[in-house]
């Protein structure tokens, strides 16, 4: 029971270390770093490595942005099995729609309630 907390902490932390290294060492911009991690997660799921990682590390693998790439591929592959090529297009956002919708809704609420402020 306790071990899943430790593995998820370490795996999630390591994914963030990779992101930090991409910014500090490879000098990628935050946007490039984000995209690289999404693509990495997507590719890893394509070759079947991301699911085992989730089984091993739980939230350590599902919380970082790589998980979004994983979900895109996952949905595409699942729908493709059912509906063929068209499923690749319809499936991508099937699994991820909750995350995207949440981002839009909470973004809207945030924008309605708050104005950005400097560090004053």
Partner 1 sequence: MKNGILTFNSMPSIHSAGVTAGPLEKKKSVFAQSFDKLYEDERCDLPTNEDGHKQLMYDAVMVALSKAKKDVEKIDFFLTGDLVNQMTPSNFTAQALGIPYLGMFSACATSVSSMITAALLAEAKQANWLIAGSSSQHNAVERQFRYPLEYGTQKAATAQWTVTAAGAVLIGQNKPGTPSISCATIGKVVDMGMTDPLNMGAAMAPAAMSTLSSHLNGHSKTVDDYDTIITGDLGSSGFKLLKALANEQGLPHTKNFRDAGEEFYGMDPSFFAGASGAGCSAAVFFSDVYQKLQKGEYQRVLLIATGALLSPLSYQQGDTIPCIAHAIEISINEVSMI
Q: Which residues bind partner 1 (CB under 8 A)?
A: 23-24, 27, 30, 116-120
Dump the DSSP string for 4-71: HHHHHHHHHHHHHHHHHHHHHTS---HHHHHHHHHHHHHHHHHTT-HHHHHHHHTHHHHSSTHHHHHH
Nearer to partner 1 among residue 89 and residue 103 (C-beta): 103
Nearer to partner 1 among residue 12 and residue 19 (C-beta): 19
Min. distance of Cβ 117 from partner 1 in angstroms? 7
Min. distance of Cβ 119 from partner 1 in angstroms? 7
Min. distance of Cβ 118 from partner 1 in angstroms? 5
Backbone angles phi, psi at 16, to 5 degrees: -65, -35
Min. distance of Cβ 26 from partner 1 in angstroms? 13
Nearer to partner 1 among residue 30 and residue 99 (C-beta): 30
Nearer to partner 1 among residue 6 and residue 111 (C-beta): 111
Other beta carbons within 10 Å of 56: 13
């Amino acid at each position: 029971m306790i071990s899943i907390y430790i593995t998820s902490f370490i795996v999630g932390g390591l994914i963030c270390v990779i992101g930090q290294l991409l910014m500090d060492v490879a000098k990628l911009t935050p946007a490039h770093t984000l995209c690289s991690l999404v693509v990495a997660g997507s590719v890893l799921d394509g070759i079947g490595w991301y699911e085992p990682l989730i089984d091993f590390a739980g939230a350590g693998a599902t919380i970082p942005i790589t998980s979004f790439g994983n979900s895109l591929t996952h949905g595409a592959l699942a729908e493709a099995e059912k509906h063929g090529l068209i499923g690749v297009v319809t499936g991508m956002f099937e699994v991820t729609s909750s995350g995207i919708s949440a981002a839009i809704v909470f973004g809207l609420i945030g924008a309605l309630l708050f104005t950005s402020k400097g560090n004053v």
